[in-house]
C-alpha cells in the first residue's frame, strides 16, 4: 500500500497541507517547529486512529478547533486506487476506507500497515522488559493470525490464577487455570521464538559489515507445555507468598546482542539508532514476506545522532527496501537515490510545499 496523495487539516499547526507523495522516499525537511513530525503524526492517525506522541487527542487537534481530518488517496500493491479518511474529535472517531465505514481500529491498522521509528524507538534496547514485550506483541498481533487468541486465553487464565493466589485457592481450583495457561503459553512461545529467530536471521544479513555477532535472545518461560506446567506447580507456594505469577510469557524479555555484549548497555547513541533502524527494516521486510503487502515506514528525525557516513548507509538500505518511506529531517540534504523515487518537501510554519530538485 502506498500513499499517492495526502490532505491534512487541523493536525497541530498543519492547515490545508496537501502532499503528492512519491512511491519511494519522501523527505520532509524544515526548521524546528515547522510541522514535520505533525505530518508523520497525521499518517499515523490515519492508520491507527491515535497519535504516537500522546494518548490525548485534544493535544493533537489544532488549538481553537474541535476536530481534525486526514484524507489519503492510496494505491494498493495491485495498482488499485482507494480513498481513506479519518475525522476525529475528542469524543468521536470516524474512519472510512474504500467507501466503507470502519468501526475497529485494528481493521484500519490492517488496511494501512505501517512501522514508525522515532528517537524513542531506542527504548527497545535500553527500556523496560514491558516495553519490549509490547513491541513484540504488537508485531505478532499483525503477523500471526492465531496469536491474539492464545494471548487472550493466556491472560484470562493468568488473571484467574492471580486471584486464586491472593485469596488462597485450593489445588483443584488452580489446576484448570494452570492447564489453560500452559496450553496458551506453549503456542505464544513457539510463535514468539519463530518470529525472533527470523528477525535475527534478517538482522544478521542486513547488519553485515555494520555490526558483528548480532543475536536476539528471548528468555523463555520453559520448553514445552509440561515443563511450564511443572514450573507453575512447583512455584505455586512461592507465588502465593508474592501474590502473583512469577514466570510465563507475561514475564519474558528480549535481549539484543552485538559482539557478545548487550546492545542496550554498550552501543553508543548513534550505533543504537542504526541498530534499531536495521531492526525495524527487517521487521518491515518480514511483514512484506509474510503478508505480501508493503507497510509504510515513517522515520522521525532521521539525521539526529547519525553522522554523514551512517546517514549514507541508512539511505542505501532504505532505497534497497523498495517501500514507501516518510522521513523528517532538519538537514537539507539533496541526494540521488539510485533506482528509487525520491521527493523532498519543505515544511515551514505549517505549510508543506514540494521542493524542486
Ligand atoms: N494542538 C496544536 N495546535 C497548534 N499548534 C500546535 C499544537 N500542538 C503543537 N503545535 C505546534 O506545532 C508546531 C509543529 O510541531 P512539530 O512537532 O510538527 O514540529 P517539527 O517540525 O517536527 O519540529 P522539530 O524539528 O523541532 O521536531 C510546533 O510549533 C508546535 O508548538
Ligand atoms: Mg519533529
Ligand 1 within 6 A of CB of 303: no
Where does the pLDDT of residue 279 fall: very low under 50, low under 70, confident under 90, or very high at 90 and above?
A: very high
Residues 6+ apart with CB under 8 A from 267: 125, 258, 275
**Averaged over 4-12, what is the pLDDT?**
98
- Euclidean distance between CA atoms 245 and 274, whole angstroms: 36
CA of 202 to the centre of ligand 2 (A): 29
E-only strand ranges, the chain? 2-9, 17-20, 25-29, 67-75, 81-89, 93-97, 100-102, 114-117, 215-219, 253-258, 261-262, 296-299, 325-329, 342-348, 351-354
Contact 22, 48 (CB under 8 A): no
Ligand 1 within 6 A of CB of 330: yes
Alpha carbon nearest to ligand 1 atom 16, residue: 35
Q: Which homologous superfamily is 125-263 in?
A: RecF/RecN/SMC, N-terminal domain (1.20.1050.90)
**Residue-averaged pLDDT of the chain:** 93
What's the confidence (pLDDT) of residue 77?
82
- Euclidean distance between CA atoms 335 and 227, whole angstroms: 55
Ligand 1 within 6 A of CB of 35: yes
Question: What predicted TM-score, i.e. pTM, was given to this entire model?
Answer: 0.92
Task: Tell which atom from ligand 1 comes closest to the C-alpha of 34.
Answer: 21
Where does the pLDDT of residue 222 fall: very low under 50, low under 70, confident under 90, or very high at 90 and above?
A: low
Task: Tell which atom from ligand 1 comes closest to the C-alpha of 62.
Answer: 3
**What distance lies between CA 182 and its chain's CA centroid?**
28
What's the confidence (pLDDT) of residue 357?
63
C-alpha grid cell, residue 2: 502506498
What's the confidence (pLDDT) of residue 85?
98
Mutate to test the pocket of ligand 1, among 10, 29, 30, 34 (most ligand atoms within 8 A of CB): 34
Give the containing element (helix H, strand E) for 187: helix 171-206
Alpha carbon nearest to ligand 1 atom 9, residue: 12
CA of 38 to the centre of ligand 1 (A): 6
Alpha carbon nearest to ligand 1 atom 26, residue: 32
pLDDT digits (tens, 9 = 90+) for 281-296: 999 999 999 988 889 9
Ligand 1 within 6 A of CB of 37: yes
pLDDT digits (tens, 9 = 90+) for 115-145: 999 999 999 999 999 999 999 998 999 888 8
- Euclidean distance between CA atoms 156 and 61, whole angstroms: 36
Q: Which CATH architecture group holds 2-113+293-354?
A: 3-Layer(aba) Sandwich (3.40)
Q: What 3-state class would DSSP assign to 259?
A: coil
Neighbours of 63 (CB within 10 A): 9
171-206 and 224-234 are packed helices; what angle lies between their axes, rounded to 10 degrees? 130
Sequence ranges of the domains in the chain: 2-113+293-354, 125-263
pLDDT digits (tens, 9 = 90+) for 63-75: 999 999 999 999 9
Residue 14 DSSP class: B
What's the confidence (pLDDT) of residue 160?
96
C-alpha grid cell, residue 249: 510469557
pLDDT digits (tens, 9 = 90+) for 299-349: 999 989 999 999 989 988 998 888 999 999 998 776 667 778 999 999 999
Where does the pLDDT of residue 251 fall: very low under 50, low under 70, confident under 90, or very high at 90 and above?
A: very high
How long, in residues, is the chain? Answer: 357
**Averaged over 30-56, what is the pLDDT?**
97
What's the confidence (pLDDT) of residue 338?
74
Alpha carbon nearest to ligand 1 atom 25, residue: 32
CA of 352 to the centre of ligand 1 (A): 13
Mutate to test the pocket of ligand 1, among 12, 32, 62 (most ligand atoms within 8 A of CB): 12
Kindly state the greatest CA–CA separation across the chain. 73
C-alpha grid cell, residue 45: 492517525
Amino acid at each position: 500500500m502506498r500513499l499517492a496523495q495526502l490532505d491534512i487539516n487541523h493536525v497541530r499547526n498543519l492547515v490545508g497541507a496537501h502532499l503528492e507523495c512519491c512511491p519511494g522516499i519522501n523527505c520532509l525537511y524544515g526548521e524546528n517547529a515547522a510541522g514535520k513530525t505533525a505530518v508523520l503524526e497525521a499518517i499515523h492517525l490515519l492508520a491507527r486512529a491515535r497519535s504516537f506522541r500522546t494518548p490525548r487527542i485534544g493535544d493533537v487537534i489544532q488549538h481553537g478547533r474541535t476536530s481534525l481530518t486526514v484524507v489519503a488517496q492510496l494505491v494498493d500493491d495491485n495498482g488499485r486506487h482507494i480513498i481513506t479518511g479519518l475525522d476525529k474529535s475528542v469524543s468521536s472517531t470516524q474512519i472510512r476506507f474504500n467507501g466503507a465505514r470502519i468501526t475497529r481500529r485494528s481493521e484500519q491498522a490492517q488496511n494501512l500497515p505501517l512501522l514508525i521509528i522515532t528517537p524513542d524507538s531506542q527504548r527497545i534496547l535500553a527500556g523496560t522488559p514491558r516495553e519490549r514485550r509490547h513491541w513484540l506483541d504488537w508485531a505478532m498481533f499483525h503477523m500471526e493470525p492465531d496469536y491474539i487468541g492464545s494471548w487472550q486465553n493466556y491472560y484470562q487464565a493468568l488473571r484467574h490464577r492471580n486471584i486464586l493466589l491472593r485469596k488462597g485457592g485450593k489445588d483443584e481450583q488452580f489446576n484448570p487455570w494452570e492447564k489453560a495457561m500452559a496450553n496458551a503459553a506453549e503456542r505464544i512461545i513457539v510463535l514468539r521464538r519463530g518470529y525472533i529467530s527470523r528477525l535475527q536471521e534478517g538482522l544478521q544479513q542486513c547488519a553485515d559489515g555494520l555490526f558483528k555477532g548480532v543475536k536476539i535472545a528471548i528468555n523463555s518461560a520453559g520448553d514445552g507445555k509440561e515443563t511450564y506446567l511443572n514450573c507453575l506447580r512447583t512455584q505455586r507456594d512461592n507465588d502465593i507468598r508474592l501474590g502473583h505469577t512469577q514466570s510465563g510469557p507475561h514475564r519474558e524479555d528480549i535481549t539484543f546482542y552485538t559482539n557478545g555484549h548487550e546492545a542496550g548497555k554498550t552501543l553508543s547513541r548513534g550505533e543504537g539508532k542504526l541498530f534499531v533502524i536495521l531492526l525495524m527494516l527487517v521487521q518491515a521486510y518480514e511483514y512484506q514476506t509474510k503478508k505480501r503487502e508493503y507497510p509504510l515506514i515513517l522515520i522521525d528525525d532521521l539525521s539526529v545522532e547519525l553522522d554523514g557516513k551512517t546517514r549514507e548507509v541508512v539511505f542505501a538500505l532504505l532505497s534497497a527496501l523498495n517501500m514507501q518511506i516518510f522521513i523528517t529531517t532538519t538537514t537539507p540534504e539533496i541526494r540521488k537515490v539510485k533506482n528509487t523515487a525520491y521527493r523532498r518537501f519543505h515544511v515551514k510554519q505549517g505549510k508543506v510545499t514540494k521542493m524542486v530538485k
